[in-house]
Structure 1
């Protein structure tokens, strides 16, 4: 299981509110031309919302055709959301840079098997797609699998009870207390790995 926690910080929201559209455009320009381009490895989190009646069919199709996608870049993990949002899947792809991602996307757009056997069948099953680019914190060595299966919150636990106990950890409570005034919202998802997910 993976427990994914997303935090939205007030500082970011205030910047967008005060800067309006110009700030959004400036941020987009920095993303494509700024120092982020020098960052090497990053991870793309993709979230797909699936039509409720198509959830099982989508997972089955992806299980059968994921090899067409993994031929182009590395899949870190693929999960089905159990709690926090229904009929969703979350998957993480690793890229060695923005130019690599652009090359992968261009190659996929020209791959007839990918387009005919997967995209043309899968897209009508979805209601929406979302993606986020995430770089690891400097002190994080790499995004690797745990030594065994368990519950994950960007770190791993032996089970849900151990994960719940972590919420009572004094260090975590102190960190939350000290940064709580910056937190605008928090979303949690409990997810189970799909059979074809490298990260379990």
Structure 2
């Protein structure tokens, strides 16, 4: 015998698989990481500096950094903003037709790049990109969370991040949730005045019971994490 499932039960079941607040804003951010061949970093960055205006004419560059610490050396990381996926498609088509971009940037730089990685991410609903008060260094911390999405770990993660922000242990630039790439990954971009100020703030936060309690709660949903210390390039909007 087949029994029809009541509507209210179906709603509850669907709700249990929800991933958190819906993404109504189409704006997203593309994270790009380029692994450069040894000894080619300076040549690549100089080429980018001379020709970046050809690229930023089509979409907004949030920041461009060289990686100082964290994983493989000879690596650059940059973030691009798009209004929606149609906007990105238009940009890619325009660049493919841009002879100046192809000849001055793309063709000379491709032999310098060993590998490329990119992700599509949204800002989490409870934050916006904040510009730091002055020039400094940046830290990108990437958290691999347990499957289930923000509905499972979102609140605890927010409390852990805000515990550092509210107590002035670090300056938050933005929190991003991956849409395409490794799922259940959250990237937190921090600003520090210097690597030493970052180290001092980290040591202090580790001794603060308020931070420890918030981080411990979020860690229950954590699989792994990694970080990179980023140095902004001279042409990066975020310095």
TM (normalized to structure 2)? 0.64
Name 1:183's counterpart in structure 2.
222
**2: distance between equivalents of 1:74 and 1:184?**
33
Q: Flag the structure with more relative contact order, 1 or 2, with Cα contacts below 8 A and sequence separation at least 6.
A: 1
Equivalent in 175, 195, 200 of residue 165 of structure 1:
200
Equivalent in 84, 94, 115 of residue 107 of structure 1:
94
**2: distance between equivalents of 1:127 and 1:159?**
30
Name 2:45's counterpart in structure 1.
59
**1: distance between equivalents of 2:197 and 2:224?**
24
Measured after TM superposition, the shift of residue 108 of structure 1 is 0.9
Q: Which moved more, 1:174-183 or 1:70-79?
A: 174-183
Deviation by residue 1:57-78 (Cα, 9 ceiling, x = unmatched) = 1111111111111111111110
**2: distance between equivalents of 1:128 and 1:157?**
28
Where in structure 2 are the equivalents of 1:1-200 lying within 5 Å?
Answer: 38-84=24-70, 85-140=72-127, 142-153=128-139, 154-167=189-202, 168-169=204-205, 170=208, 171-200=210-239
**Structure 1 segments (4+ residues) deviating >3 Å:** none
* Number of residue pairs aligned between Structure 1 and Structure 2: 164
- SS of structure 1 residue aligned to 2:123: coil
**2: distance between equivalents of 1:125 and 1:103?**
26
**2: distance between equivalents of 1:166 and 1:132?**
29
In structure 1, the gaps of 5 or more residues are 1-34
Deviation by residue 1:124-160 (Cα, 9 ceiling, x = unmatched) = 10011111112111121x3242121123342333232
Measured after TM superposition, the shift of residue 194 of structure 1 is 0.8
Measured after TM superposition, the shift of residue 161 of structure 1 is 3.0
Which structure has the larger Rg over C-alpha atoms?
2
In structure 2, the gaps of 5 or more residues are 1-21, 140-188
Deviation by residue 1:77-117 (Cα, 9 ceiling, x = unmatched) = 10001111310000111111111111111111111111111
